[in-house]
Copies of this chain bind each other. A is one copy, B any other.
């Protein structure tokens, strides 16, 4: 209510509407992906969940591939935000070891979803250098807080490597290893790397 008239550099009303519309669709799609899994999410269910027509969906994202690519970006951004400023223990406020373990478990689940989104977006092998560099920086920061010394870039890479989609995909979808066992294995690795 601070200004009732559009300011000079406000986006035009149509553009603001379009952006809100886009956000609503992406939020609805991400919600469905998280609750039902990528394979069960169709253009129809997303349109219904977002309260828009199917035509709008196709106009904005061209295809299911296009939508899934946009959901992938949205999900990565939301995940980074929850690491930077979300509630503890993933976000700030918890001791560094708790944050590191929460980070690994959360990254594991996010990467499994992202592997499906990447496949659904028709971009096999896609792997975001920016996302990777964010994750590496965060792990290096926590290792520093834990008083670990040495080549932290290499140690952070070693902790992130077992969370790579290609490794998780093999363990979960080919070897049928449970997420609980993978998490426990990662926790063990972290304790060995950090030391006592």
Given contacts A166-B164, A174-B129, contact A158 B124 (CB under 8 A): no
Given contacts A161-B164, A166-B164, A167-B161, contact A188 B124 (CB under 8 A): no
Copy tally for this chain in the complex stands at 2
At the interface, is chain A mostly helix, strand, loop or mixed? helix
Q: Which residue of B lies closest to A148 (CB)?
A: B192
Chain A residues 155-181 with CB under 8 Å of chain B are: 155, 157-158, 161-162, 164, 166-167, 170-171, 174, 177, 181
Given contacts A151-B188, A181-B151, contact A158 B166 (CB under 8 A): no
Closest-CB distance, A150 to chain B (whole angstroms): 6
Partner of A185, one of B132, B157, B186, B188: B157
**Pairs A-B, 4 closest by C-beta atoms:** A154-B185, A161-B161, A161-B162, A158-B189
Contacts from A to B (Cβ < 8 Å): 124-125, 127, 129, 132, 150-151, 153-155, 157-158, 161-162, 164, 166-167, 170-171, 174, 177, 181-182, 184-186, 188-189, 192-193, 195
